[in-house]
């Protein structure tokens, strides 16, 4: 029984136990003694009273039946597309069951729209983003797509291939995929924009494609690209090599290129502004300021 549960974050169903040779009497005894803890009807946790988030989500999926998958905001949280407090379980299945504490949705998903993530059946990145398009704001949806592109190298065309015209949030999602949505995705970006705004400098386009890749900040009119380096996204060899490619690509398209860290923006802000002012000031304005 423990071996069976260990493969599913400590969660088993009554059917799985019976198939493994555990009798109904043994199940009832374990429920009385607390070695089995009922979560939903016919779904149990084995030997632990403080379930993980994965156990909570797995129990909801199992309660929905064999073809249930985690979906919606819960899937987005599990996949790392949204942050904050974990949403309540949300499950999609062919047959909608009323499960206390679980939002259930009756629908038949194509196999291309389902996967297994951290051992839990769930909707794919593409399908999850499509589902999010009808419930998230434009900025939040852009942030979710950015997470998928950074964490999993998801490409816009991979999502676009699964979008249909009947989708309620189709146009919103396509704006995100085209890079038309303004999205400030991190605290570092918010601080950086506030710094520029306070100095009266032009604000950049953020997280929009340039040369086939998303860049943190770009001023097309000034031919300037700025990358903001947070440790989270730049602490691996792959990230280091990717950053060098982005720098070469910026110069290749004729942009000036600058890279700033969190410390630069928060502790050495005046040095950053001193460097950026001439780059973000039109030549005629610089000439006027220098004339007697």
Which of 176, 212, 216 has the alpha carbon at shortest distance from 196? 216
Whole-angstrom distance, CA of residue 169 vs CA of residue 180: 15
Q: Where in the chain is CATH 3.40.960.10? A: 187-290
- If pLDDT is split at 50, 70 and 90, which confidence band does 1 have? low
- The per-residue pLDDT for 88 is 96
Whether residue 166 has pLDDT greater than 90: no
Unique residue bearing structure tokens 């704001």? 137
Find which of 21-25, 65-69, 145-149, 281-285 is predicted with most confidence, using mean pLDDT: 21-25
Token pair belonging to 118? 């951290």
Predicted pLDDT at 47? 77
- pTM (2 decimals)? 0.70
Q: How far apart are CA 164 and CA 283, in angstroms?
A: 47
Could you tell me which of 27, 135, 32 has the C-alpha nearest to residue 81? 135
Sheet with 224-229: list strands edge to edge: 205-210, 213-219, 224-229, 256-261
What's the rounded Cα separation, in Å, for the pair 66 and 7? 16
Closest CA to 42 of 54, 29, 24: 24
Residue 290's pLDDT is 45
Q: What's the pLDDT at 288?
A: 47
pLDDT at 178: 83
- State residue 51 phi and psi, 5-degree precision: -70, 145
pLDDT score recorded for residue 5 = 61
The count of C-alpha atoms lying within 13 angstroms of the C-alpha of 67, restricted to the half-sphere facing its C-beta, is 13
Whether residue 250 contacts residue 259, with contact meaning beta carbons closer than 8 Å, is answered with no
Q: What are phi and psi of 263, to 5 degrees?
A: -65, -40
The H helix count followed by the E strand count for the chain is 14, 12
Does residue 287 have a pLDDT over 50? no
Superfamily grouping for domain 187-290: VSR Endonuclease (3.40.960.10)
Q: What is the mean pLDDT of residues 25-53?
A: 89
Quick check: 10 and 47 in contact, CB under 8 A? Answer: yes
- Of the pLDDT bands very low, low, confident and very high (cuts 50, 70, 90), residue 230 is low
Q: What's the DSSP call for residue 186?
A: S
């Amino acid at each position: 029984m423990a071996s069976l549960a260990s493969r599913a974050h400590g969660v088993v169903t009554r059917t799985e136990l019976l198939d493994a040779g555990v009798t109904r009497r043994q199940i009832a005894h374990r429920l009385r003694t607390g070695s089995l803890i009922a979560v939903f009807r016919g779904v149990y946790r084995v030997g632990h009273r403080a379930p993980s988030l994965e156990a909570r989500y797995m129990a909801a999926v199992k309660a929905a039946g064999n073809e249930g998958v985690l979906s919606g905001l819960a899937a987005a949280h599990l996949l790392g597309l949204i942050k904050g407090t974990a949403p309540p379980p949300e499950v999609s299945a062919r047959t909608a069951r009323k499960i206390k504490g679980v939002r259930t949705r009756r629908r038949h998903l194509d196999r291309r729209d389902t996967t297994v993530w951290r051992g839990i059946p769930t909707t794919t990145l593409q399908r999850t983003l499509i589902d999010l398009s009808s419930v998230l704001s434009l900025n939040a949806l852009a942030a979710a797509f950015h997470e998928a592109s950074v964490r999993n190298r998801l490409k816009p065309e991979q999502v676009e291939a699964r979008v249909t015209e009947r989708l309620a949030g189709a146009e919103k999602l396509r704006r995100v995929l085209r890079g038309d949505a303004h999205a400030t995705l991190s605290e570092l970006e918010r601080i950086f924009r506030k710094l520029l705004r306070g100095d009266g400098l032009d604000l950049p386009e953020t997280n929009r494609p340039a040369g086939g890749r998303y860049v943190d900040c770009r001023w097309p009119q000034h031919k300037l690209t700025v990358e903001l380096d947070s440790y989270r996204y730049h602490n691996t060899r792959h990230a280091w090599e990717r950053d060098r490619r982005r720098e070469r690509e910026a110069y290749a398209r004729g942009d000036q290129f600058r890279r700033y860290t969190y410390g630069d923006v928060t502790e050495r802000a005046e040095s950053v502004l001193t460097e950026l002012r001439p780059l973000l000031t039109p030549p005629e304005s610089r000439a006027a300021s220098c004339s007697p």
